[in-house]
């Protein structure tokens, strides 16, 4: 276990050390102490290492992550795991705005609640939120799965593309072109896998599925009232 | 009686200066279709521009340098503020961001070839970086756009600089739309969207809003790339003083200011013609902001939007810019709107020089298309050679002017070398009206 005191040694040293790890590294376990809400902690990683942040983080923790498993033992500021490509990010507390924004792959697990615009423009990432999510989540979401074990706020999935949205609780309102869809066996399988990997005991059968009506895919002046 | 009527002088038919034939045609088109006009390119209306400025040249108080004999340097280094590896260019003319998707693969390759041969940089666009583009560009700027189409850390680390796009001159405050007919399998795959659907590019970034957030976003990008490469911030010209100041405050190495003549792949005509300010009007306020913050020349300023010649380059630099970027002019150099395609332009209902339906993917020149047959019309080697020649000519022209003004480097050009032909240009460029020592806004009138 490598321990890095962020307050004492600074952000550049941390990210440089973590980014220097290769696939063959034997320094596979890292602990970051005294994060104190710092921004850009553990960004741009690309090795199969485990990083545990002992406290809450600021903006963009684990941004553009590849391969690594990053755990935040606290809450995360805006844009946690933004543009993640692969690997796993776990937030034990709550996540602020834009969690998992534009992510291409990997799994983001938020044990608490996520604020607005969770999964905005997601491009293949899987996101599991144990609690609730805020308004405009999955706005223009292109691909991947967003699983919400609690409730969803206003305008869920506005201008959605091909991402799948699963919500167990209530949905305050659906955004433009987002509709409820049938839950087919393959969707229950996807949900089962994601819930297991995210450590949730929720049952797939308790969820509803939402997706794109695909009515806004090609510009049509007749749809102008939807914008 | 009839004979008398014939002898009375008649009022001639008078065309309205307000309801002109083009305006009336557009009203009729809108009435027939119910949809606004979408097109490519930048503002076509006449606005105060570099043509409204003149160089004074040498005189008794200033002596010139000998053309063809005395050296006039053209190099520029971008990103000296924080980056460990600033971009060093041989000429102060760069290629602006244009996407693979909006442009064909051969066109992107040609831009890389031409820019590299001329010793300058080219820039990606929405949709990400292609291996061909990286391979043919000795210096490649990677755009970080609101859509984040194709954005990934591996390509980010391959870039020689990163350009965070806040806006562009053709449509400050607007996003974009790549229509479905240009979405080939490859373009769709790069953007993680189904083939054939319109691909909307968002108007604002998904994970930051405002200058305080931008500062943190820049920090993140620097941490991901190890503080190696410069980070540009590109804005459409609207409030150039404040946008420049805020970009500097956020930590930008380079500010790119794009005037309303700057082109776009596709946007509503009403947006292009009625939002934003002319290129000429944005340079002095941007330079003023840099000077007020004590970072002029430390944070470089790149100006774009309607740059066509070495004279335009020299004028932009004289007003305080460090470099310029060209987009539309580069496409013309490749072969866009070439008269040899006139018969095909006419089939599309347009004519040489006016073709701007770049979004429809039917470009006869094979540049703004994803149609394989049309794209094959452009030879990237030959087109790259034309671009290199054009860049070379622009540089020679700018050097000619600089020598005439007595300068041994293009960056030594200064506002005092200029005068204005019109009151508007004098006010915007803050240089005296020709033959006077006064410009609007200057004290002592």
Q: How far away is chain B from the Cα of A148, in angstroms, using its nearest Cα?
A: 20
Give B194's pLDDT tier (boundaries 50, 70, 90). confident
B286 domain-assigned: yes
Whether the pLDDT of residue A4 is over 60: the answer is: yes
Average pLDDT over residues A204-212: 98
Give B84's pLDDT tier (boundaries 50, 70, 90). very high
H helices of B229-365, in order, are 240-250, 269-274, 279-292, 310-318, 328-334, 342-347
Average pLDDT over residues B422-431: 97
B227 domain-assigned: yes
Q: Which residue of B has its CA nearest to A17?
A: B226
Q: Which residues of B touch A78 (CB under 8 A)?
A: 207-208, 213
Give pLDDT, residue B2.
Answer: 64
B317 domain-assigned: yes
Q: Which residues of A touch B207 (CB under 8 A)?
A: 60, 78-79, 82, 97-98, 101-102, 120
Whether the pLDDT of residue A227 is over 80: the answer is: no
Give pLDDT, residue B338.
Answer: 96
Nearest to residue B211, comparing CAs of B234, B243, B182? B243
Whether the pLDDT of residue B445 is over 60: the answer is: no
pLDDT tens digits along B165-184:
999 999 999 987 777 777 78
Give pLDDT, residue A60.
Answer: 98
**Segment among A208-222, B49-63, B273-287, B402-416 with least mean pLDDT:** A208-222
pTM for the predicted model, two decimal places: 0.95
What angle do helix axes B105-118 and B380-404 make, rounded to 10 degrees?
40
Q: How many CA atoms lie within 13 A of A42 on its CB side?
A: 39
Give pLDDT, residue A171.
Answer: 98
Give pLDDT, residue A216.
Answer: 86
Whether the pLDDT of residue B49 is over 60: the answer is: yes
What Rg do the C-alpha atoms of chain A give, in angstroms?
18
C-beta contacts of A152-160 below 8 A and 24+ residues apart: A153/A116, A156/A210, A157/A210, A157/A211, A157/A212, A159/A216, A159/B200, A160/A210, A160/A211, A160/A212
**Segment among A188-192, A214-218, B95-99, B341-345 with least mean pLDDT:** A214-218
- Nearest CB to A142; choose among B180, B193, B220: B193
Give pLDDT, residue B61.
Answer: 87
Average pLDDT over residues B16-21: 96
**Residues B170, B272 contacting (CB under 8 angstroms):** yes
Give B420's pLDDT tier (boundaries 50, 70, 90). very high
Give B443's pLDDT tier (boundaries 50, 70, 90). confident
Give A222's pLDDT tier (boundaries 50, 70, 90). confident
Cα–Cα distance for residue pair B156/B142, rounded to 1 Å: 7
Q: Which residue of B has its CA nearest to A66?
A: B153
Higher pLDDT, A73 or B189: A73
**Residues B359, B307 contacting (CB under 8 angstroms):** no
**Segment among A215-219, B99-103, B239-243, B318-322 with least mean pLDDT:** A215-219
Give pLDDT, residue B441.
Answer: 86
Whether the pLDDT of residue A64 is over 70: the answer is: yes
Answer whether B153 sits within 8 Å of A117, measured CB to CB.
Answer: no
Average pLDDT over residues A148-164: 97
Tokens of B53: 């400025």
**Residues B103, B438 contacting (CB under 8 angstroms):** no
Q: Which residues of A touch B180 (CB under 8 A)?
A: 217-218
Residue B223 near chain A (CB below 8 Å): yes
Give pLDDT, residue B212.
Answer: 97
Which CATH number goes with the domain that contains B377?
3.20.20.70
Under DSSP, is residue B88 helix (H, G, I), strand (E, B) or coil?
strand
Cα–Cα distance for residue pair B24/B392, rounded to 1 Å: 43
Whether the pLDDT of residue B18 is over 70: the answer is: yes
pLDDT tens digits along A81-139:
999 999 999 999 999 999 999 999 999 999 999 999 999 999 999 999 999 999 999 99
Element (H, E) at B390: helix B380-404
B265 domain-assigned: yes
pLDDT tens digits along B89-141:
999 999 999 998 889 999 999 999 999 999 999 999 988 899 989 999 999 99
Higher pLDDT, B5 or B332: B332
B27 domain-assigned: no
B123 domain-assigned: yes
- Dihedrals φ, ψ of B303, to 5°? -110, 135
Q: Which residues of B touch A83 (CB under 8 A)?
A: 148, 151-153
pLDDT tens digits along B135-154:
999 999 999 999 999 999 99
Answer whether A162 sits within 8 Å of B193, measured CB to CB.
Answer: yes
B34 domain-assigned: no
Q: Which is it for strands B267-268 and B38-39: parallel, antiparallel or unpaired? A: antiparallel
Domains and CATH numbers, chain A: 2-214 (2.160.20.60)
Domain membership of residue B253 as a residue range: 53-429
Q: Which residues of B touch A115 (CB under 8 A)?
A: none
Whether the pLDDT of residue B444 is over 70: the answer is: no
Give B322's pLDDT tier (boundaries 50, 70, 90). very high
Give pLDDT, residue B390.
Answer: 98
Give A202's pLDDT tier (boundaries 50, 70, 90). very high
B102 domain-assigned: yes
Cα–Cα distance for residue pair B296/B17, rounded to 1 Å: 44
pLDDT tens digits along B208-238:
999 999 999 999 999 999 999 999 999 999 9
Total structural domains within chain B: 1
What part of B 104-163 touches A (C-beta under 8 Å)? Answer: 147-148, 151-153, 156
Give pLDDT, residue B1.
Answer: 58
The percent of residues above 90 in pLDDT, for chain B, comes to: 85
Q: How far away is chain A from the Cα of B311, in angstroms, using its nearest Cα?
A: 41
**Residues B367, B336 contacting (CB under 8 angstroms):** yes
Give A24's pLDDT tier (boundaries 50, 70, 90). confident
Give pLDDT, residue A27.
Answer: 87
- Nearest CB to A40; choose among B192, B197, B219: B219
- Nearest CB to A43; choose among B35, B206, B223: B223
| Per-residue CA distances from B388 to B88, B111, B383 (Å) | 17, 9, 9
ipTM: 0.96
Give pLDDT, residue B377.
Answer: 97
Q: Which residues of B touch A40 (CB under 8 A)?
A: 216, 219-220, 223
């Amino acid at each position: 276990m490598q321990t890095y005191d962020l307050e004492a040694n600074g952000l550049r040293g941390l990210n440089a050390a973590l980014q220097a790890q290769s696939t063959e590294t034997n320094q596979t376990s890292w602990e970051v102490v005294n994060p104190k809400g710092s921004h850009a902690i553990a960004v741009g990683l690309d090795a199969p290492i485990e990083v545990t942040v002992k406290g809450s983080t600021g903006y963009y923790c684990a941004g553009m992550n590849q391969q690594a498993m990053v755990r935040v033992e606290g809450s995360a500021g805006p844009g946690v795991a933004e543009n993640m490509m692969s690997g796993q990010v776990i937030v034990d507390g709550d996540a602020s705005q834009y969690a998992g924004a534009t992510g291409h792959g990997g799994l983001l697990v938020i044990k608490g609640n996520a604020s607005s615009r969770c999964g905005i423009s997601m491009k293949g990432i899987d996101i599991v939120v144990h609690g609730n999510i805020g308004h405009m989540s999955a706005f223009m979401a292109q691909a991947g799965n967003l699983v919400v074990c609690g409730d969803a706020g206003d305008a869920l999935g506005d201008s959605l593309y091909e991402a799948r949205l699963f919500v167990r609780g209530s949905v305050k309102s659906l955004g433009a072109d987002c509709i409820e869809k049938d839950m087919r066996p393959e969707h229950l399988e996807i949900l089962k896998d994601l819930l297991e990997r995210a450590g949730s005991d929720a049952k797939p059968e308790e969820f509803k599925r939402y997706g794109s009506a695909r009515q806004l895919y090609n510009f049509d002046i007749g749809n102008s009232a939807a914008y | 009686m009839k004979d008398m009527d014939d002898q009375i002088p008649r009022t001639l038919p008078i065309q309205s200066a307000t309801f002109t034939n083009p305006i009336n045609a557009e009203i009729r088109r809108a009435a027939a279709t119910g949809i606004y006009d979408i097109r490519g390119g930048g503002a076509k209306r006449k606005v105060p521009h570099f043509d409204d400025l003149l160089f004074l040249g040498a005189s008794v108080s200033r002596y010139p340098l000998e053309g063809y004999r005395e050296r006039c340097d053209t190099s520029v280094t971008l990103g000296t503020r924080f980056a460990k590896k600033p971009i060093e260019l041989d000429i102060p003319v760069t290629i602006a961001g244009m996407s693979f998707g909006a442009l064909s693969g051969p066109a992107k390759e040609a831009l890389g070839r031409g820019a590299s041969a001329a010793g300058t940089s080219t820039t990606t666009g929405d949709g990400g970086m292609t291996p061909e583009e990286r391979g043919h560009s000795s210096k490649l700027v990677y755009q970080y756009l609101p859509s984040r189409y194709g954005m990934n850390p591996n390509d980010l680390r391959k870039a020689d600089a990163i350009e965070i796009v806040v806006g562009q001159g053709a449509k400050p405050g607007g996003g974009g739309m790549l229509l479905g007919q240009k979405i080939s399998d490859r373009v769709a795959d790069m953007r993680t969207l189904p083939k054939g659907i319109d691909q909307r590019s968002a108007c604002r970034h998904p994970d930051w809003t405002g200058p305080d957030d931008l500062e943190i976003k820049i920090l993140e990008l620097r941490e991901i790339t190890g503080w190696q490469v410069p980070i540009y911030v590109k804005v459409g010209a609207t409030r150039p003083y404040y946008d420049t100041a805020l970009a500097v405050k956020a930590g930008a190495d380079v500010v790119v200011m794009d005037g309303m003549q700057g082109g776009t792949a596709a946007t509503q005509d009403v947006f292009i013609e009625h939002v934003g300010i002319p290129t000429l009007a944005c340079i002095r306020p941007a330079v003023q902001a840099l000077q007020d913050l004590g970072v002029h020349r430390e944070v470089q300023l790149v100006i774009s939007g309607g740059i066509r010649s070495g004279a335009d380059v020299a004028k932009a630099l004289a007003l305080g810019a460090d470099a310029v970027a060209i987009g539309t002019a580069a496409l013309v150099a490749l072969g866009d709107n070439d008269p040899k395609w006139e018969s095909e332009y006419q089939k599309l209902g347009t004519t040489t020089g006016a073709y701007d339906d770049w979004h429809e993917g039917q470009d006869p020149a094979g540049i703004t298309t994803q149609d394989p047959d049309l794209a094959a019309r452009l030879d990237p080697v030959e087109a790259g050679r034309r671009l290199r020649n054009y860049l070379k000519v622009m540089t020679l022209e700018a050097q000619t002017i600089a020598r005439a003004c007595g300068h041994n480097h293009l960056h030594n050009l200064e506002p005092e070398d200029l005068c204005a032909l019109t009151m508007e240009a004098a006010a915007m460029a803050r240089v005296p009206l020709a033959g006077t020592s006064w410009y609007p806004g200057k004290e002592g009138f």
